[in-house]
Amino acid sequence: MTQNLARYADHTLLKPEATQEDVRATIAEAASLGAYSVCLSPSVLPVEVPDALKLAVVIGFPSGKHHSAIKAAEAKLAVEQGADELDMVIDIGAAVAGEYSRVEDDIRAVREAAPAPTILKVIIESAALSDEAIVAVSRAAEAAGADFVKTSTGFHPAGGASVHAVELMKQTVGDRLEVKASGGIRTRETAEQMIAAGATRLGVSSTRSIVEDAEPAGDY
Question: Does residue 139 fall inside a structural domain?
Answer: yes
Once rounded to an integer, what is the mean pLDDT over residues 122-142?
98
Asked if the model's pLDDT at residue 211 lies above 70, the reply is yes
Catalytic residue among 76, 121, 150, 170: 150
Asked if the model's pLDDT at residue 24 lies above 60, the reply is yes
Question: Does residue 59 fall inside a structural domain?
Answer: yes
φ, ψ of residue 3 to 5 degrees: the values are -115, 145
Question: Does residue 220 fall inside a structural domain?
Answer: no
Q: What is the pLDDT of residues 148-198, one digit of tens each?
A: 999 999 999 999 999 999 999 999 999 999 999 999 999 999 999 999 999
- Is there a catalytic annotation at residue 87? yes
Q: Sorting pLDDT into bands at 50, 70 and 90, what band is 214?
A: low
- Is there a catalytic annotation at residue 54? no
Catalytic residue among 76, 121, 170, 180: 180
Domain that holds residue 27: 5-213
Reduce the DSSP state of residue 85 to 3 states and report it: strand
Question: Does residue 76 fall inside a structural domain?
Answer: yes
Asked if the model's pLDDT at residue 216 lies above 90, the reply is no
Q: What is the pLDDT of residues 98-126, one digit of tens each?
A: 999 999 999 999 999 999 999 999 999 99
Reduce the DSSP state of residue 31 to 3 states and report it: helix
Q: What is the pLDDT of residues 52-98, one digit of tens each?
A: 999 999 999 999 999 999 999 999 999 999 999 999 999 999 999 99
Handedness of CA 174, 60, 195, 165 (dihedral sign): negative
Question: Does residue 199 fall inside a structural domain?
Answer: yes
Question: Does residue 219 fall inside a structural domain?
Answer: no
Domains of the chain: total: 1
Residue 123 near residue 86, CB atoms below 8 Å: no
Q: What is the pLDDT of residues 37-55, one digit of tens each?
A: 999 999 999 999 999 999 9
* Structure confidence at residue 153 (pLDDT): 98
| Short-list 57, 116, 132, 112, CA closest to 89 | 57
* Cα separation, 178 vs 41, whole angstroms: 22
**CATH number of the structural domain spanning residue 43:** 3.20.20.70
* % pLDDT > 90, the chain: 94
Question: Does residue 205 fall inside a structural domain?
Answer: yes
Once rounded to an integer, what is the mean pLDDT over residues 212-216?
64
Once rounded to an integer, what is the mean pLDDT over residues 204-217?
80
Burial of 216 (0-12, 13-18, 19+ CB in 10 A): exposed
Question: Does residue 75 fall inside a structural domain?
Answer: yes
- Is there a catalytic annotation at residue 180? yes
Catalytic residue among 10, 87, 91, 106: 87
Asked if the model's pLDDT at residue 219 lies above 90, the reply is no
Asked if the model's pLDDT at residue 220 lies above 50, the reply is no
* Structure confidence at residue 213 (pLDDT): 81
